[in-house]
Structure 1
Amino acid sequence: MPITTVILDFDGTLASSLEGIWTCMCETLAHYNFTEPSLQQVRATIGLTLEASMHQLTGVRCEEVLTSEVVKFYRALHTTKAAPLMRLFEGAIPALAELRTRNIFTLLVSNKGRAGLHQLITQLEIANYIDIILSAEDVTFRKPDARLYTEHIAPLRSAPNFQTLVVGDTETDILFAKNANLLSCWATYGYGDEQRCKALSPDFELQSLTDLPALITNFTK
């Protein structure tokens, strides 16, 4: 049976965003007197919720009440500091256009805030290729919780699980697919830890977005 639905991650899957995220994280944590993280430390948090990222980068010293304030500060910075540094990965537009041509229902699911995510989608000119956009503020459950699919995605699209492909670059994306009994595709060019991602045995590996249409075609065969 053909793949009829694709659920795409944003950071590290569609867009190269690490530099922008790192810039905002450094300024945010310094503002609250936390140690500025290294690029690799920030890279290790890609795929986590922003709250979980803050806890990991501060050694859980960012208390719950303060976390909300820190997240708000970060998201305000993101608009002006991170967004200009964001770039689509090579092959993103042709791949998205091909999905549209094939009438494949395409969702973008991200742990980013709503305003920042929509700003980037407009800036990168990909809005016309996405059917549904779900930010961290649009859902109750987040990746890798299977209820993100059962409660928020499945009601929007009545496609069988075995015809739904999750494409993402971190173990969070692969675990989400596994937990929800969906097909998983690891974007190897992104920010995920190779050893941890491979250990989860994703159904497919994607070396470039350019290869996504062919991957879907070959599966259909």
Structure 2
Amino acid sequence: MFKLIIFDFDGTIFDTYEAISHCARLTFETLTPSATPPSAELRRLISKGAALAEAFRLLHPDQQATFDAETWTNTYRALYAQHGQALSKPYAGLRLVLDALKAANIRIAIVSNKVTDSIKTALKQLDLLDEFPEPLIIGDNIEGSQRKPHPVSYMDILLPRYRALYGEEALRPEEVLMVGDTVTDILYARNVGMKVCWCRYGQGDAEECEALKPEFTIDDLEGVLEVAMGSR
């Protein structure tokens, strides 16, 4: 049985594809009304969990010379706060999963490339924020961290917070399970040395994810319980 389950957010515990794609298009409408992001390329970048600035740069290559990453990123995030949250929804069974893990004394965290405030807002709107220890909700804008798949968010951010919260010094990688839907999550688990449960139902590219041979695969969120309890 695992001691800690780390969840990704987008495409893992919340279905945010419509929110992300809609707000990406709104960003183009706001900053370059004459351009439209190619749907296939937008889907591909979402499936990889690409960084916002890089995604917009690739979606609109003729902006390379004058591209302002901060403007595009800030515009998207403002639009997401206004329009995206309403389009985000938890996957079926989320509260059941969280209650079952709590009953089994398995601790939980979130490590996401989404900004922390956006994660907390989505959870709070559905009365789910208190289900997660707030120090263990780690998003893209945490000082000293880097985006997944870089392992620093686990080594230098999550582990010290976990130890401060629970007073436990020892937490071996094999006692931790990463649950995510993209190649980024699988590579993150590999870089840390923990096992990974790939969410086939999420936003990731199935062929790319399967090629990395995740230790576990689930077809719905509730499937994580079998993995977490050691029955798979």
Distance, in Å, in 2 between the alignment partners of 1:64 and 1:99 is 48
SS at match of 1:45: helix
Map of 2:19 onto structure 1: 20
Q: Deviations over 1:117-166 (max 9, x none)?
A: 21111013221221211111114211001222211122223411001000
**Distance change in 2, residues 1:96/1:38 (3 Å):** farther
Q: Deviations over 1:23-53 (max 9, x none)?
A: 1100102222173224443332232222232
Map of 1:149 onto structure 2: 154
Map of 2:122 onto structure 1: 120
Map of 1:3 onto structure 2: 2
Q: Is 1:189 equivalent to 2:201 in the alignment? A: yes
Distance, in Å, in 2 between the alignment partners of 1:192 and 1:60 is 27
Q: Report the alpha carbon displacement of residue 82 of structure 1 after superposing the two structures with TM.
A: 0.6
Normalising by structure 1, we get a TM-score of: 0.91
Amino acid paired to 1:98: A
CA RMSD of aligned residues (A): 1.9
1:93-112 → structure 2 map (5 Å cutoff): 93-112=95-114
Q: Is 1:210 equivalent to 2:202 in the alignment? A: no
Q: Would the aligned equivalents of 1:55 and 1:61 in 2 still touch at CA under 8 Å?
A: yes
Distance, in Å, in 1 between the alignment partners of 2:68 and 2:111 is 26
Distance, in Å, in 1 between the alignment partners of 2:62 and 2:3 is 41
Q: Would the aligned equivalents of 2:197 and 2:216 in 1 still touch at CA under 8 Å?
A: yes
Map of 2:166 onto structure 1: none
Q: Would the aligned equivalents of 2:57 and 2:67 in 1 still touch at CA under 8 Å?
A: no
Map of 1:137 onto structure 2: 141
Q: Deviations over 1:188-214 (max 9, x none)?
A: 000111111011111110111111112
SS at match of 1:136: coil
Q: Report the alpha carbon displacement of residue 63 of structure 1 after superposing the two structures with TM.
A: 5.9
Q: Would the aligned equivalents of 1:50 and 1:112 in 2 still touch at CA under 8 Å?
A: no
Distance, in Å, in 2 between the alignment partners of 1:63 and 1:98 is 51
Q: Percent identity, aligned pairs only?
A: 28
Map of 1:83 onto structure 2: 85
Q: Deviations over 1:88-121 (max 9, x none)?
A: 1111110111112222121111112232221111
Distance, in Å, in 1 between the alignment partners of 2:62 and 2:106 is 41
Normalising by structure 2, we get a TM-score of: 0.87
SS at match of 2:109: strand
Q: Deviations over 1:36-73 (max 9, x none)?
A: 22444333223222223222322383568611111111
Amino acid paired to 1:153: L
Residue ranges of structure 1 left out of the alignment (5+ in a row): none
**Distance change in 2, residues 1:215/1:60 (3 Å):** farther
Residue ranges of structure 2 left out of the alignment (5+ in a row): 163-169
**Distance change in 2, residues 1:179/1:116 (3 Å):** same
